[in-house]
Amino acid sequence: MEYRVPAVRMQNISKTFGSIVANDHAELTVYRGEILALLGENGSGKTTLMNMLAGIYYPDEGQIFIDGEEAVIASPHDAYKYGIGMIHQHFKLVDVLSAAENVALGLKEKGRLNLKKVAERITELCDQYGFELDPWEKIYNMSVSEKQTVEIIKVLYRGADILILDEPTAVLTPQETEKLFTVLRNMRSDDKAIIIITHKMNEVEELSDRVAVLRKGAYVGDMLTKDTNAEEMSGMLVGHPVELSIERPDPVDPKPRIVVEGLTVRNEEGLLKLDDVSFTANTGEILGIAGISGSGQKELLEAIAGLQPVEKGSIRYIRDDGTEDELTLKDPLTIQKMGVSLSFVPEDRLGMGLVGSMDITENMMLRSYRRGNSLFLDQKNPHKLAAEVVKDLSVNTPNLETPVRRLSGGNVQKVLVGREIASAPTVLLTAYAVRGLDINSSYMIYELINRQKAAGVAVVYVGEDLDVLLELSDRILVLCDGRVSGILPGRGADKKEVGLMMTRIRKEAADEE
């Protein structure tokens, strides 16, 4: 192969946060006209490494070369100077401004601000790479994928030709992902260097030219995508071979457990979030919920858990002996006191499911601290439970006294799921249980969920990765804009069809049910 000067070469990069080593003499090389997939488990230092390239952190050690010249990137401004732009997982946009205004923010151009010119340039960029975006649209009116487009345009506008995308597809539908990939391929043809962080192997195989793998902050190696496969890559990033298949045992004796009828929910602003939703969740079965994010998944789970005021409709809980309890408009404490063991793994792990500044033991206490008549806390049992969860789910933590905020995403989720499962639930609600988790952690969560199903728990699984939903669920309920656009059997469901149902109501499907 001919020798090319890499667009970016990172050499011997180390970064520590206190006692935590995020990057340990890591390396990375990316060429122009190439899409590089950066793989690694949670906490393997991918994002940190990229943040150093984007000028957000400054490396403790090591060098960065841009086009062969040594570069010092001490701020995002420096990064732009070298043509480096990063699209973060969490968008950094001002909601009340339009796309053009957001792009113009922070520009240091001479003369007066000419928004029209900005908008024209945005349209040019859109045409060039195949985006669809109205520069005058306000951010709050946009879908997640449009917001992402604004973020990408923002860095392109600043002349970036080295782009870093941190898990860009985590929030997109299959159709939107396909569009994004088209755009990225167009950029590659335009000789841009693109680094994409992702956990999804199928995307790596579909999109990237080369794969680089990080493990525990250190560089493991890189290879051409066409010369490798998902199993090999997973093995490389975990450090040992892994099995990549999700089990789906047949449900044993499913009986209705939760019956939802005509559920209608408005959010605090009075917007209709759920409209006449009806379904049944059965024991020993996984009910998958598919839908574009914000289609009412959150409200649905929160309404069942007693956290969301219900406008109309009913939620009933059916016990083993056939007696029924009304859960509608009951708060979580009342539901618990009724003897309904309902576990809920919410989407917002640290903001709702756990307390970030508390340690693992204190977080275990959240569910159980009320037990007993003593005025004082029982610390012994939660401590025991914490030790068990850490051991059984192999949570990677220095000790039980570490605030959960300091743990990586996968470990935070293990703590949360571990606690929720520990109470031997009859109903398990999970929202985006594997969001941001690496392969190893994800498969562990799938297995935990399957174990609950085998134990006869009625599992409601809200997911975003359609491939997984189709592999895991016994039945799939598709939500579209707060309404049920259909309930299909999970076995044999077609991905394209589900994708379409997510974006428009299919009358026939609803009637068939």
In angstroms, what is the minimal distance from the CB of 337 to another protein? 9
Select 82 or 131, whichever has its Cβ closest to another protein: 82
Task: Determine contact, residues 16/4, Cβ cutoff 8 Å.
Answer: no
Could you tell me which stretch among 150-158, 181-189, 355-363, 494-502 binds another protein (CB under 8 A)? 355-363
Task: Determine contact, residues 30/76, Cβ cutoff 8 Å.
Answer: no
3-class state of residue 264 by DSSP: strand
Any contact of residue 326 with another protein (CB under 8 A)? Answer: no
**Alpha carbon distance 498, 489 (integer Å):** 11
Any contact of residue 71 with another protein (CB under 8 A)? Answer: yes
In angstroms, what is the minimal distance from the CB of 413 to another protein? 15
Q: Which long-range contacts (CB under 8 A, 24 or more apart) does 121-124 make?
A: 121/157, 122/153, 122/157
Select 248 or 406, whichever has its Cβ closest to another protein: 406
Select 370 or 384, whichever has its Cβ closest to another protein: 370
Select 336 or 503, whichever has its Cβ closest to another protein: 336
In angstroms, what is the minimal distance from the CB of 200 to another protein? 29
Select 18 or 68, whichever has its Cβ closest to another protein: 18
Among 220, 223, 259, 377, binds another protein (CB under 8 A): 377
Task: Copy the structure tokens of residue 507.
Answer: 């009358």
Select 63 or 141, whichever has its Cβ closest to another protein: 63
Any contact of residue 70 with another protein (CB under 8 A)? Answer: yes
Could you tell me which stretch among 156-164, 340-348, 427-435, 482-490 binds another protein (CB under 8 A)? 340-348
Could you tell me which stretch among 139-147, 266-274, 330-338, 461-469 binds another protein (CB under 8 A)? 330-338
Task: Output Rg (C-alpha) for the chain, integer angstroms.
Answer: 24
Classify residue 426 as left (phi > 0), alpha (psi -120 to 50) or beta.
alpha
**Alpha carbon distance 502, 485 (integer Å):** 7
3-class state of residue 109 by DSSP: coil
**Alpha carbon distance 146, 160 (integer Å):** 19
Task: Copy the structure tokens of residue 225.
Answer: 């995508």
Could you tell me which stretch among 109-117, 165-173, 221-229, 371-379 binds another protein (CB under 8 A)? 371-379
Among 4, 5, 74, 106, binds another protein (CB under 8 A): 74
Any contact of residue 331 with another protein (CB under 8 A)? Answer: yes
Any contact of residue 399 with another protein (CB under 8 A)? Answer: no
Select 405 or 507, whichever has its Cβ closest to another protein: 405
Task: Copy the structure tokens of residue 54.
Answer: 């984007």
Distance of CA 285 to the CA centre of its chain: 24
Query: Residue 56 CB: number of other CB atoms within 10 A?
Result: 16
In angstroms, what is the minimal distance from the CB of 478 to another protein? 27
Any contact of residue 65 with another protein (CB under 8 A)? Answer: no
List CB contacts of 73: < 8 A, sequence separation 6 or more. Answer: 52, 53, 54, 55, 58, 64, 79, 82, 84
Could you tell me which stretch among 217-225, 269-277, 342-350, 431-439 binds another protein (CB under 8 A)? 342-350
Query: For the window 16-55, what string marks contact with another protein as x by the rule CB under 8 A?
Result: xxxxx-----------------------------------
Among 56, 60, 186, 387, binds another protein (CB under 8 A): 60
Any contact of residue 269 with another protein (CB under 8 A)? Answer: no
Among 2, 90, 108, 376, binds another protein (CB under 8 A): 376
Any contact of residue 265 with another protein (CB under 8 A)? Answer: no
Query: Residue 105 CB: number of other CB atoms within 10 A?
Result: 12
Select 429 or 498, whichever has its Cβ closest to another protein: 429
The torsion angles phi and psi of 21, rounded to 5 degrees, stand at -90, 110
Select 192 or 266, whichever has its Cβ closest to another protein: 266
The 8-class DSSP code of residue 359 comes to: B
**Alpha carbon distance 288, 432 (integer Å):** 11
**Alpha carbon distance 273, 480 (integer Å):** 10
In angstroms, what is the minimal distance from the CB of 193 to another protein? 20
Any contact of residue 125 with another protein (CB under 8 A)? Answer: no
Longest dimension (CA), the chain: 76
Any contact of residue 329 with another protein (CB under 8 A)? Answer: no
Q: Where are the alpha helices (DSSP H) in 293-347?
A: 297-305, 332-337
3-class state of residue 251 by DSSP: coil
* Residues forming the site for another protein (CB under 8 A): 16-20, 58, 60, 69-72, 74, 78, 305, 307, 331-336, 344, 346, 348, 351-358, 362, 365-367, 369-370, 374-377, 379, 406
